[in-house]
A and B are shown apart, each in its own frame.
Chain A
Amino acid sequence: MKCLVAFLLTLFIWQSAWAEQNHLDTHIFAELPVQHNGRIKPMDSFARFYLRTFSGDAVVDGMTADDWLADLIFTPERAYGRAVFDVNNPNLRLALDLPERARHHYSFLEIAAAMEAHQEMVNSILSAQEKNVTDPAQQQLISLYANMTAFLDISRSLSLVLPVFRVEDAALARQIGVPAGQNFSYLEMMRRRAQYLSLAQSVLKYAGNHPDARQVVLLQIGAQLEHMEADKQSQILRIVPPAWQPDGNSWLSPWAMLNTGQGAPQSAALLQAWTRMAQAYQENNATEWKYAGENIFQQTLSLAGGQIRPYALSAEYMYNHAYLFAVSLAFYLAAFLLLLGARRYRAFYYVSFALLVCGFLSHFVGEALRIYIMARPPVGTLYESIIFVGLIVVAGSLLLEMRSRRGLGLAIGALSGFALQAIGMGFAGGDTMEPLVAVLNTNFWLATHVIAITTGYGCCLLTGILGHIYLLQKILQPLHHERLQITSRLMLGAALAALFFALTGTMLGGIWADQSWGRFWGWDPKENGALLIVLWLLWMLHGRLSGMLRANGFAMAAAAAVIVVALSWFGVNLLNVGLHSYGFTSGIAINLFAFIALEMIFITTCGVILYRRSRHP
């Protein structure tokens, strides 16, 4: 795995170096480790998370998230004027008197000024209890304010090492002990604090209403120091691993390190490296930038002592940039479109097959990267289950295609792969690799129970899709017996596979429950959902054996398996009760009910048509 990552990475670096000549190589910055939301991630993921939170976009002003973040922490003054905040609610724009523009993006300074102008209104909403604020525009004001606060917090992360102080007067500089005519940082200033204070006291004592130039400079420094008091609160960008700490794994922001006095010689050296990086950024010095970046990486690594897996950081950077799931979505769509022309040109069939395989491969590599980055099995959240089921369905369809060679498997794989990836994108909010809640934090059961159940979902979906196809084939071309028989056989095989995985998964779930909570079964909604799938499949298969279900009935039951899966997979999350409510989502209720209603209409219509045809042939 490491070799693979390293290889792909070399390719990637080569490519990005080629693309980014005459520019600072943000790749170095983007891979630096930062602790955020309970895990260590590359700066790139951090930047993407916040740029998306603030602006709703991945690219703003033609800047990637990495460029934007570097700009924000190294040259905050410039970043304050950049329009990154998305205010998409027209009523909020109206209430704040923000000028209308095409993309509804506004800068920190613009919004701060607007909020200042409507201070009373803003305060009344911010100080209200959260549950009393129900108007969407007012809710957006609250989240906008929270975003502004986070933005400000991040922008101040490195202000202690940014060279913002300057003394031109050589004599005065010598007295304080700072270089004359050169910028220096808060940290350097604080080292000279005693000299500055005694000087300021003695000189300012005689300052009247008309201070001289020296006194003005000292006053300015004092004002600036006071101004930076607020920066001490900055704590989001945790880039300093603790040198010593009781729990040992909570990283610190540079300011927090200074405030809590947790600095050590190593962390001071780390900050020094960050200072150099900031300087290199401001001076656009590519060699120094690269050198400082590598230095920071090495120092953080040695300070964190084994907490960081450097290859995982590179892998995550690559994962972020490769958009493998979007790529697979495009492949699936292309495969389906080409398949439409396959009846006229046989070559299209092979190209479509190849495209589906390509889609599957990028889907698969995406999953593999996630497993490697998170160091756990691939399914732990609702989002991950969607992506994984997609992979299973496409894999199953490829198997079907290899057996039947009639384009049926291709059509199923391409369409359902596309649909599931698209649904998955809708569920991919914020950081999709957040750590799991305590009860799920067990690799063994995630790797067995969860994988078996989701594979069962996938096979069951496949059964359902084949059921739909059988019904349509039977209605549209009832005399095509051979083809119907093939579909029917595939449907039975898929149903058996689904039963096998769903039953295994449910039994393993029971055993997990018994091992962890002392009971095999507890009528938890998700347990019931899984059981429902098992029972439905058992019923289908026994109904077929007993003659209760004939060919048409079996196909209808198979088609309805899609409803059962939807209920068990998403429906129980709507109940928001029980052990599995981690995947709770409120917005999907309407979509889910619409889907079930449509499916029911489709299946009943097919049933009625087939029934009437059998009565009056």
Chain B
Amino acid sequence: MHAYRLIRWMAEARSFALGLLWLMAILVLGTATEKTQGLYAAQRVYFSSYIIWLGGLIPLPGLLTTVAFIFTSLVCKLALERWRMKHLGTIIIHIGAAVLLLGGFLTACFSREGSMLIPPGESRNYLEDYQHVELAVTPLGGAQPEIIFTEAQLNAGSKLNNLAIPFAIDPVTWCRNCGLERLPQPVTEGNPHGVAINFIFKSLPHDPVEEQNRAGLTFRLLGAGQSDGLYAVFQDMPIPEIVMAGGKKYLLALRPVRASLPFAIQLLHFQEDLYPGTDKPRAYQSDVLVNDHGLLWHSLISMNEPLRYHGYTFYQSSFLQSDGEQTATVLAVVKNNGRLFPYIAGVIIAAGLLIHLAQRLGRRCAL
């Protein structure tokens, strides 16, 4: 009996309105947070969370919980609805809304996104994550696979081993966003190498623009004989750190987490069109060649005209340039399984609105 009463309560417009109020509060807070802490922080704390910890102490329902509440309320309403022709329009609108929320939920859970940075003429078959970084140890010469250490492992600070490599990595300092600071005098103790000789890392506050954060790691290399000692690596290092151990060379790099694509994309040509006589861009476009295990497919990606291939969408996000020369195109990549839901929901809601309108007009005419 209690359960039925709960469902009755959930089905009321009142509970829906309550949920909406809280949703609006989250929306306003989250949007304000985007300014101060960046889009990803806002998403993590507000928009893709079940629980918001206010001040780290008080638990409040997060956006996903709130949307789930609203969705339940919608379903309860539909379940208890007395299906009358008079309400047909409104009922259909509410079904459409439920479909929309369901699609949003699926997207939130199962979509993947990342970016690709491709210099002209080159080919890439992986996505790079916007937020997280990893330490990759790549054996040079030969086709041995890379060894990856995740951000969590680096953060934990304990010694990192892998059977495939003859040395261990012992993190000393780790910062997600660091500044490089030159030392007045070179370090002499602990057998420093490369960057670690003249520089130390200084931890900087997290930048709201995720791509602006430059991760850095200093570590001790153990078990590599001659090459043992103190090392430092940071993201996008101009000269990569190469270590000699057991007669082989290994490249150590801190880079955005990679996720492989089932096909490769080659950039043939990048073009930026300006409005005549100005510096204002009119259009950007990347001429690309998809290589899907030998199947070649030519395509043009431009603003508002993405490439869709095997469930992935590639759109023109930006480009890198130095000295007026374009050095790479930046494509944003999304794979979204719930993609069709908003379209279906849109059609249902539109149909509901039309029926509702027609019914109201019909009633007025009848009077």
Residues in chain A within 8 A of chain B (CB atoms): 35-39, 238, 247, 249-251, 435, 437-439, 441-442, 445, 500, 503, 507, 510-511, 514-521, 523, 525, 528-529, 531-532, 535-536, 538-539, 542-543, 545-548, 567, 572, 575-578
Interface size class of B (residues with CB under 8 A): 35 or more
Contact, CB under 8 Å: B34 / A438: no
Quick one: given A511-B342, A532-B24, A548-B14, are A516 and B303 in contact (CB under 8 Å)?
A: yes
Query: How distant is the Cα of A251 from the Cα of B278 in the complex, in angstroms?
Result: 11
On whether the beta carbons of A511 and B346 are closer than 8 Å, the reply is yes
- B143: CB under 8 A from chain A? no
Q: Which residues of chain B from 271 to 307 have any CB-CB distance to chain A below 8 Å in the complex? A: 274-278, 280-284, 303-306
Nearest CB in chain A: distance from B305 CB, A:
8
**Given A36-B277, A510-B342, A575-B35: A439 touches B27 (CB 8 Å cut-off):** no
Of B127-135, B180-188, B332-340, the stretch lying at the interface with chain A is B332-340
A525 touches B276 (CB 8 A): no
Q: Which 8 A-B pairs have the closest CB atoms?
A: A518-B313, A38-B275, A546-B13, A518-B334, A546-B14, A250-B276, A542-B13, A38-B278
Of B39-47, B156-164, B220-228, the one touching chain A:
B39-47
Chain A residues contacting B16 (CB-CB under 8 Å) are 542, 546
Interface residues of B (CB under 8 A from A): 12-14, 16-17, 20-21, 23-24, 27-28, 30-32, 34-35, 39, 42-43, 47, 103-104, 107, 111, 113, 208, 274-278, 280-284, 303-306, 308, 312-315, 332-334, 336, 339, 342-343, 346, 349, 353
Q: Are B31 and A572 in contact (CB under 8 A)?
A: yes
B276 in contact with A523 (CB, 8 Å): no
Q: Which residues of A contact B346 (CB under 8 A)?
A: 507, 511
Least distance between B39 CB and chain A CB atoms (Å): 7
The chain B residue with its CB closest to the CB of A439 is B303
**B314 contact set on A, CB distance < 8 A:** 518
| A-chain residues with CB within 8 Å of residue B332 when the two chains form the complex | 517-518
Distance between A524 CB and nearest chain B CB, rounded to angstroms:
8
What are some 18 contacts across the A-B interface (CB < 8 A)? A38-B274, A38-B276, A437-B280, A503-B349, A515-B304, A518-B312, A519-B107, A520-B103, A520-B107, A523-B39, A531-B27, A539-B21, A542-B17, A546-B13, A547-B14, A575-B35, A577-B35, A578-B34
| Given A517-B334, A546-B17, A578-B34, 5 further pairs, Cβ under 8 A | A435-B280, A507-B342, A518-B314, A518-B336, A543-B13
Q: Chain B residues with Cβ under 8 A from A36's Cβ?
A: 277
Q: A37-B278, A238-B277 are in contact. Are A523 and B34 (CB under 8 A)?
A: yes
Complex contacts, B284 vs chain A, CB 8 Å: 438
- Bound-state Cα–Cα, A567 to B29, Å: 13
Q: Please, how many angstroms separate the alpha-carbon atoms of A529 and B30 in the complex?
A: 11
CB distance from A377 to the nearest CB of B (A): 15
**Contact call B280/A520, Cβ cutoff below 8 A:** no
List the B residue with the shortest CB-CB distance to A248: B276
Residues on B with beta carbons closer than 8 Å to the beta carbon of A438:
281-284, 303
Q: Which of these, A517, A519, A536, contacts B111 with CB under 8 Å?
A: A519
**Is B13's CB under 8 angstroms from A545's CB?**
yes
Chain A hits for B20, CB < 8 A: 535, 538-539, 542
Contacts of B334 in A (CB 8 A): 517-519
Q: How far is the CA of A402 from the CA of B336 in the complex (A)?
A: 48
> Smallest CB-CB separation from A36: which chain B residue?
B277
CB of B79 to closest CB in A, whole Å: 18
Complex: A521 Cα to B47 Cα, angstroms = 11
CB of B27 within 8 A of CB of A532, answer yes
Within the complex, which residue of B47, B274, B342 is in contact with A514, where a contact is CB–CB below 8 Å?
B342
Say yes or no: A523-B278 contact (C-beta < 8 A), given A442-B304, A548-B14: no
Q: How far is the CA of A542 from the CA of B90 in the complex (A)?
A: 12
Q: Could you tell me if B30 and A528 are in contact, using CB atoms closer than 8 angstroms?
A: yes
Expressed in whole angstroms, the Cα–Cα distance for A247 and B276 within the complex equals: 9
State whether A535 touches B24 (Cβ < 8 A).
yes
Q: Which of B35, B113, B276 contacts A519 (CB 8 A)?
A: B113
Q: In this complex, what residue of B is CB-closest to A435?
A: B275
The answer for the CA separation of A510 and B100 in the assembled complex, in Å, is 12
Q: A539 contacts which of B24, B274, B283, B353 (Cβ < 8 Å)?
A: B24
Query: How far, in whole Å, are A545 and B12 apart by their CA atoms in the complex?
Result: 9
Q: Which residues of B contact A507 (CB under 8 A)?
A: 342, 346, 349
Instruction: Give which listed residue, A516, A532, A542, contacts B28 with CB less than 8 A.
Output: A532
List of B residues within 8 angstroms of A545 by Cβ: 13
- Give A226 to B96 CA distance when docked, in angstroms: 76
- Which residues does chain A contribute within 8 Å of B27, judged by CB atoms? 528, 531-532, 535
A contact residues around B31 at 8 Å (CB): 523, 525, 528-529, 572, 575
Chain A residue numbers with a CB within 8 Å of B23 are: 535
In the complex, A194 Cα to B14 Cα: how many Å?
92
A535 partner residues in chain B, CB cutoff 8 A = 20, 23-24, 27
| Nearest chain B residue, comparing its CB with the CB of A526 | B31
User: Nearest chain B CB to A443's CB is how many angstroms away?
Assistant: 11
Known contacts A531-B27, A575-B35, A516 near B17 by CB under 8 Å = no
- A546–B77 alpha-carbon span in the complex (Å): 13
A83 to chain B, nearest CB (A): 30
Docked CA distance A516–B16 (Å)? 33
Are A249 and B276 in contact, with the CB atoms below 8 A? yes
Contact present for A518 and B315 (CB under 8 Å):
yes
Which A residues are CB-close (under 8 A) to B47?
A: 523
Q: How far is the CB of B3 from chain A (nearest CB, A)?
A: 21
